[in-house]
Copies of this chain bind each other. A is one copy, B any other.
Amino acid sequence: MNFKNELKEYQEIIETELKKYIEKNESPEKILNQSVEYSLLAGGKRLRPILVIATYRIFKNDFEKCFPYAVAIEMIHNFSLIHDDLPAIDNDDIRHGKPTNHKKFNEYTAILAGDSMLNNAYLIISKDLISTTNNNERNQKIKAFNELTIAIDRVIAGEYVDTESEGKNISKEKLKYIHENKTGAFLRACVRIGAILADVTDNDLNKLTSYAEKIGLAFQIKDDILSEEGDEKVTGKPVGNDKNKKKCTYISEYGLSKSKEILENTIEEAVESLKDFGEKAEFLRELAFYIKNRNK
């Protein structure tokens, strides 16, 4: 199967699992659930849950075991998007080409829908832990749960420094800090969670962590490039938004041409980290090129 088809197949798996979750959702508040559903099914690349599943599949076939983590992770990703878009934070009106949650509903609904999604992600994980009877499997799942909580702590810290830095001249070190925490830590955790659930050796975990850190960096550089020269109709985000808000980005620090060069080298290093995993890691390799070449 070629990469595009495999990616589409993964995306469909995630959509199906998210819809199943929404159907079974027993949260008591209807409008709040609608707001959660609105953001959760608004599209998006589903990159994070795909990383979990694709990493797991390098080692094992029964990838359905990752689904609770895949869904939880996509929910947490959407929690962070909803809160980041809030007037007090990034004040964005458009996400995936649609009104942001607080624009579609209102601010208190967006705050509480975000809270609900973060909490419900852990609800899903707790349910899955209860139904896991195999002791070794349970150990891996608890480690994966811990990995996720630590990463999200960093995502929130990164978002904080990013918000605090808006309109300010910041150092390259601070830019690196923002990227490594806000975006990098989460992508890193997704790959590591897939690997931990597959019960890999420390050596393999280290190689995959290196891959994850490189694509995390590449992802952020590409985001900055798209914000500078992307097609608004394709990205679904206003072009020049970062520049208008004087946001500190790779472009503002290094310029467009140098940023593209850094992106190129970073992708090469990511692919290099996978060299010992052979054919089974082909999807992750292609995914690195996809991150470089994507137009949204």
A contact residues vs B (CB 8 Å cutoff): 27-29, 31-32, 79, 83, 86, 88-89, 106-109, 111-112, 114-116, 118-120, 122-123, 126-127, 129-130, 135, 138, 142-143, 145-146, 148-150, 152-154, 156-157, 159-161, 163-164, 177, 181
Contact = CB atoms under 8 A, between A and B. Distances in A.
B164 A149 contact: no
Contact of A153 (B123, B130, B150, B153): B123
A290 to B, nearest CB: 29
B108 A156 contact: no
Contacts of A116: 153, 156-157
A108 B161 CA distance: 11
A234 to B, nearest CB: 29
The secondary structure that dominates the A interface is helix
A88 B108 contact: yes
Given A29-B161, A112-B156, A135-B135, 12 more contacts: A28-B177, A83-B112, A83-B115, A86-B111, A88-B108, A89-B108, A115-B118, A118-B119, A119-B149, A119-B156, A120-B149, A126-B149
Nearest to A181: B28
Contacts of A129: 142, 145-146
B115 A31 contact: no
A91 to B, nearest CB: 10
A28 B123 contact: no
Contacts of A29: 156-157, 160-161
A108 B163 contact: yes
13 contacts: A27-B153, A27-B157, A28-B177, A29-B157, A31-B160, A31-B164, A32-B156, A32-B157, A88-B108, A89-B111, A112-B159, A122-B122, A123-B153
